[in-house]
Chains A and B, each alone.
Chain A
Amino acid sequence: MEEVPEGWKNLGGRGLTSSIIAKEVPADCHPLGPNNKLVFAPGICCGTKAPTSGRMSVGGKSPLTGTIKEANVGSSFAQKVGKLGIKAIIVQGINEGPYQMVNIGKDEIEFHDATTWSNKGLYGTYEEIRARFGDRVGIASCGIAAEMRGLGSGVAFNDPEGLPSRYAGRGGLGAVMASRGLKYIVADDSGGPGVEIANEGMFDQGRKKMTKALSEHDITKKNGTLNTYGTSALINVINEAGALPQRNFSAGYDERASMVSGEKKRDIILERGGERPHGCHPGCIIQCSEVWVKEGGIDPVGVLEYESVWSLGPNCGIYDLDVVGEMNRACNNLGLDTIEMGDTMAVAMEGGLAEFGDGKRAIELMKEIENKTPIGRLLVNGCVFAGTAFGVSRVPAVKGQGLPAYDPRPIKGIGVTYATSTMGADHTSGYAIAPEILGVGGKLDPLDKNKAELSRNFQNYTAFVDCSGYCLFTTFATVDIPEGFEGMVESCNGVLGTNWSVDEAIALGSSIVEMERDFNIRAGFSNADDRLPEFFRKEQLPPSNEVFDVPEEELDRVYGK
């Protein structure tokens, strides 16, 4: 146990993970070698009574992208770590022996040989671990894909039912964890001190403002969009926008997409006796999540998020929710990022490993991963690797990371985020995207002012949110209801005893993004890497027939250089 260095006392979440990685990890290290580190840091308000604040960041140098990486997850694990009074868990060095489990409690840290819970699916091992250590524990882990050092492996966490369905998914951080020799972190906060709150009055004022904003906004309120349909409300929306990538980004619309819509999924879940709505962590008042089950209400999977439904569904030409459910179960079981796995499967399909739409074959291929066959070893390494292996040139990736569920040709703004994010093709690092980009091509919106500034502000705003412990989805409310964002900042001030204004909070976000960009430059990246693959510029996407035509100079302007 170490004391928190003075300069890091006011950081949490992504601010802390990126600071630690930027300072302590040589930017040119091998991500699976001895000099990389893996950092778990709960957000500033994580573990408090603040609503929807159970988020934790996991950071390291990514073996998939070679950049700095922060992946963000919602789980009671995060809150338990916060309540144990822990600001960060830093995993460093390589343990050569059998895989380990580390158990963290209020008084002790213990290590256990994790062999008996290795080389097995996580649904089973999570059950066994809860049986052994009590079902109050929070569990973070890597899976079989990480044991193979797969670049598409994520870090899995428990949901409130104890299923391994929550993920710090992107960037291959599961492989970083496995390469340290660590399989599981088990947290038990029984008797723990709770999160220390420096200024109760300020904290209460802030959290109440946030609660009010979340309760009022159409997207975040009870019976609002997220509560009713979850993120999968976007399937029909983005399909109607002609931007839902089908069959490895070869079209933006398919009328069959409605077969895997959030509206249909919700009805099936309710009919079968699954759960909807559902919070991924205790204390969430948005409750966008759910538990998908098979016919008969058996074999719960966990949530089928928009990104997962898209990547394992329409991007693979699959329009069957039961197939998507089984594919998602396999990803959760094996410790795989669903976005990267869907991108990979789609590229492999284009390369002939299976037909687009062949759900049965796709599920069989997931078994190859479980059995660690050579094809399995290939498939866990992301879509770029698959593209090379199968001779496919339409590979949708930036800085090695597969694209998420929005085609950048009709939605140019998100293409700018994909290209310029410090994380590779990432939809969450600046989701509220650049209105300036909407002006490219001459269709300027006369209401917009200072677009470049607005664009940069959103990425910085998001970086602050990623420090706070609040879920990114609170921003649907806070960008429209300023008191909500004030509440976010005030509750952080309350916890830490700081006095940040809203502008200072965004400036903190900016400093984090700058720190990440600096790491990436030291890791060998330049503006030349802030680009989308060639095919997005050349191949028109039906039905809009757009290409990504944002000039390179515009991309370079996002960071003002």
Chain B
Amino acid sequence: MSIQVRLFGSLKDRAQRLDESGYVGISEIDADARTIRDIISSLGLEELEVSHTFLNFEYSDLDAEVDDGDRVGIFPRDMALLYRWYLKGGMRKTYASGKIKRGDSQ
């Protein structure tokens, strides 16, 4: 299935190309991915490198399921700037310490 992935900040250079600003990386991937977690893994990213993730303009956690034609946005750890419960799917202990794994419930 075909997914458009946008990689922000320090992750941008792992993408296939950059947008007009030069600051957003864009990749079209043909993936066997089921979830955002799969996409992250297929890009060679560690979960701990990632903070906010969006699916079709909706804040989503790593277990969100992706579909053909979807758009996924991935932000690096040093662009985390929302309280962890700020938006739907945000209930994760993510930012307090590098030792806490993403996806842990409160």
Least distance between A165 CB and chain B CB atoms (Å): 21
Q: Does A429 contact B (CB under 8 A)?
A: no
User: CA separation between A445 and B59, bound complex, in Å?
Assistant: 14
**How many of chain A's residues touch chain B, expressed as a range?**
35 or more
Least distance between B99 CB and chain A CB atoms (Å): 11
Q: Does A190 contact B (CB under 8 A)?
A: no
Interface residues of B in 83-98 (CB under 8 A from A): 83-88, 91, 93-97
Name which of B21-29, B38-46, B62-70 contacts chain A: B21-29
A229 touches B58 (CB 8 A): no
User: CA separation between A217 and B100, bound complex, in Å?
Assistant: 12
Contact of B19 among A217, A258, A479 (CB under 8 A): A258
B87 touches A411 (CB 8 A): yes
Interface residues of B in 41-60 (CB under 8 A from A): 51-52, 54, 56-59
A263 partner residues in chain B, CB cutoff 8 A: 8-9, 23, 79
Q: Does A181 contact B (CB under 8 A)?
A: no
User: CA separation between A447 and B6, bound complex, in Å?
Assistant: 29
Least distance between B22 CB and chain A CB atoms (Å): 7
A447 partner residues in chain B, CB cutoff 8 A: 91, 105-106
Main SS class of interface, B: loop
A218 touches B88 (CB 8 A): no
What number of B residues sit within 8 Å (CB to CB) of A? 38
Least distance between B28 CB and chain A CB atoms (Å): 15
B81 partner residues in chain A, CB cutoff 8 A: 219, 225-226, 231, 233-234, 237, 476
Contact of A438 among B21, B51, B88 (CB under 8 A): B88
Least distance between A448 CB and chain B CB atoms (Å): 7
B1 partner residues in chain A, CB cutoff 8 A: none
A240 touches B57 (CB 8 A): yes
Contact of B82 among A216, A237, A252 (CB under 8 A): A237
User: CA separation between A411 and B82, bound complex, in Å?
Assistant: 12
| Residue in A217, A219, A410, A433 whose Cβ sees the most chain B Cβ within 10 Å | A219
Measured CB to CB, the nearest residue on chain B to A542 is B57
B59 touches A241 (CB 8 A): yes
Measured CB to CB, the nearest residue on chain A to B19 is A258
User: CA separation between A413 and B58, bound complex, in Å?
Assistant: 14
A431 partner residues in chain B, CB cutoff 8 A: 83
Q: Does B30 contact A (CB under 8 A)?
A: no
